[in-house]
Amino acid sequence: MVRAIVGGNWGDEGKGKMTDLLAAEADIVVRFQGGANAGHTIINDYGKFVLHLLPSGVFRRNVINVIAPGVALNLNSLFAELDMLAKRGVPEPKLMISERTQLLMPYHIMFDRLEEERLGSESFGSTKSGIAPFYSDKCLKTGIQISELFGNGLREKIEKVCFVKNQVIKALYGTSELLNANSVYREIISWKEKIAPLIYDTTHYLNQVRGNKRILLEGQLGALRDIEHGIYPYVTSSSPLAGYGAVSTGIPPWSVTEIITVIKAYSSCVGAGIFVSEIYDNAADELRKRGGDSGEYGATTGRPRRMGWFDTVASRYGCMIQGTTEIALSMLDVLGYLEKIPVCVAYEIEGHTIDTFPVSYQLQKAKPVYEYLDGWGCDISGIGTYKALPPQARAYVEFIEAKLGLPVTMISNGPKRDDIIYRK
């Protein structure tokens, strides 16, 4: 059985906790795209963790964790995460890295920073983790697969790449901060012995076991950040859609039979881009303070998240392009302070009301159309069954179900692993 867990909005939906929960029902957890530019926050018996590259199954002793070819692999970040787990008493995880995974190089981070600085006020809100330059090189076919550490010609390849990049640095960025090919090579090759035991042919392995092992595909960010279908150009440089999980791992698309999409009970995002239901000032500050596990701040950057009310237009679209079979609704408990809860149910664009998610130039003109639901005015954290929730909280969940046309099967009502209500 293969299932995927993905985000339905702008990222920051609470996927880490849900993946940690579902990992208990998995034999293998696969991280299938993205890099260290976003984090999954997990709170369990070992404490609170933010994972950037490691799959969220690393806290389960019997789970095999796989990093697939679609991931932008920063080896410094990877080993820093492994060291952090060891220092905090987490048993060494079972980890497999695809031999086809490409390395995020030091110059990718450098170019990300230089480009954001050049763009200034017109920047895309990058985390400066090197993600866009990494995927650019991958498409230009100048990327470096991890298997190349063990072959011939790596030094020569790095020299050629650095020569071209230095010309760009001098011509476009006007800085003397040039690349030294020998230094880049020495840094990358220094990881060779340490990484060697973790390298596998995961493509054949996953295809061999998918019929008798429970595989969970873990996505990063959310549907609206997808490079093809998201709020372009304010998107990530890979596809966080469940369909890409099959592409990245090399398993057949039809083998993914369950797609659990995580959606927050309100909206938030880090970084730039169109956000129709965004709120500001005191309303945003209050929701930000109460949200998340200790406030709504980016797990990777620490930046305050932009806040908004639940958007059924964006969420329905996100679920559609994910191919959602069920919804995991996170952070319902956060809304207990509100007497009335606004929900964006449509967009008004130049006098016309629509309930389908448009392209970016139309989104820029969109104004939210709200309906207001009764709040429940109490703390629901710790409630363990759906029937025990206040009627207004159940009405809110069922309103979302009706608008999205999909079942909400899991409800998170607190930050800890066990703060969950199952409705199956």
Nearest partner of 9 among 269, 398, 343, judged by Cα: 269
Residues 87 and 119 in one domain: no
Distance CA 59, CA 145 (A): 27
How far is Cα of residue 405 from the mean position of the Cα atoms in its chain? 24
Distance CA 143, CA 408 (A): 41
Q: What is the CATH number of the domain that holds 209?
A: 3.90.170.10
Distance CA 91, CA 296 (A): 30
Q: What is the dihedral of CA 411, 4, 136, 225, to 10 degrees?
A: -30
Residues 74 and 122 in one domain: no
Residues 283 and 413 in one domain: yes
Tokens representing residue 258 in the block? 């369950």
Residues 19 and 152 in one domain: no
CA dihedral for 313, 344, 415, 281, sign (positive or negative): positive
Strand 47-51 and strand 278-279: the pairing is unpaired
- Those residues whose C-beta lies under 8 Å from the C-beta of residue 210, and which sit 6 or more positions away, are 2, 251, 255
Asked if 34 and 225 touch (Cβ cutoff 8 Å), the reply is no
The DSSP symbol for 171 reads I
Write out the DSSP string of 251-270.
Answer: --GGGEEEEEEEEESSEEE-
Residues 318 and 223 in one domain: yes
Q: Which pLDDT does position 419 carry in this prediction? A: 87
Residues 305 and 239 in one domain: yes
- In the residue annotation, 40 being an active-site residue is answered as yes
Q: Which of 40, 52, 108, 229 is catalytic?
A: 40
Distance CA 132, CA 111 (A): 9
Distance CA 323, CA 167 (A): 44
Print pLDDT tens along the chain (424 aa): 999 999 999 988 988 888 888 988 999 999 999 888 777 788 778 888 888 899 989 998 899 999 999 999 999 999 999 999 999 999 999 999 999 999 999 999 988 888 887 877 666 666 778 888 999 999 999 999 999 999 999 999 999 999 999 999 998 887 888 999 999 999 999 999 999 999 999 999 999 999 999 999 999 899 999 999 999 999 988 999 999 999 999 999 999 999 999 999 999 987 778 899 999 999 999 999 998 766 787 655 677 889 999 999 999 999 999 999 999 999 999 999 999 999 999 999 999 999 999 999 999 999 999 999 999 999 998 899 999 999 999 999 999 999 999 999 999 988 777 889 998 7
Residues 61 and 188 in one domain: no
Question: Look-up: residue for tokens 């967009």?
Answer: 347
Residues 40 and 85 in one domain: yes
Return the beta strands (E) in 82-207 as ranges: 94-98, 102-103, 199-200
Give Rg (Cα) of the chain.
Answer: 22
Question: Look-up: residue for tokens 């230094």?
Answer: 183
Query: Phi, psi at residue 77, to the nearest 5°?
Result: -65, -40
Asked if 312 and 276 touch (Cβ cutoff 8 Å), the reply is no
Residue type, 250: G
303: how many CB neighbours lie within 10 A of its CB?
Answer: 13
Return the beta strands (E) in 35-99 as ranges: 40-44, 47-51, 64-67, 72-73, 94-98
Q: Among 195, 229, 255, give the residue marking a domain's end.
A: 195
pTM above 0.85, yes or no: yes
Tokens representing residue 34 in the block? 């993205």
Asked if 326 and 293 touch (Cβ cutoff 8 Å), the reply is no
Q: Among 151, 169, 195, give the residue marking a domain's end.
A: 195
Residues 87 and 116 in one domain: no
Query: Phi, psi at residue 225, to the nearest 5°?
Result: -100, 10
163: how many CB neighbours lie within 10 A of its CB?
Answer: 11
Please list the alpha-helical segments (H only) found in 148-227. Answer: 154-168, 181-189, 192-195, 202-209
Q: What angle do CA 66, 68, 72 make, to 5 degrees?
A: 120
407: how many CB neighbours lie within 10 A of its CB?
Answer: 13
Q: Which pLDDT does position 127 carry in this prediction? A: 72
Count of domains for the chain? 2
Asked if 228 and 213 touch (Cβ cutoff 8 Å), the reply is no
Residues 166 and 217 in one domain: no
For 247, the domain range is 2-93+201-422
Residues 232 and 363 in one domain: yes
- In the residue annotation, 12 being an active-site residue is answered as yes
Q: Which pLDDT does position 298 carry in this prediction? A: 66
Residue 317: exposure state from Cβ atoms within 10 A (0-12, 13-18, ≥19):
buried
Q: Which pLDDT does position 19 carry in this prediction? A: 86
Distance CA 123, CA 272 (A): 8
Distance CA 333, CA 331 (A): 5
Q: Among 180, 195, 210, give the residue marking a domain's end.
A: 195
Residues 366 and 284 in one domain: yes
Q: Which pLDDT does position 301 carry in this prediction? A: 63
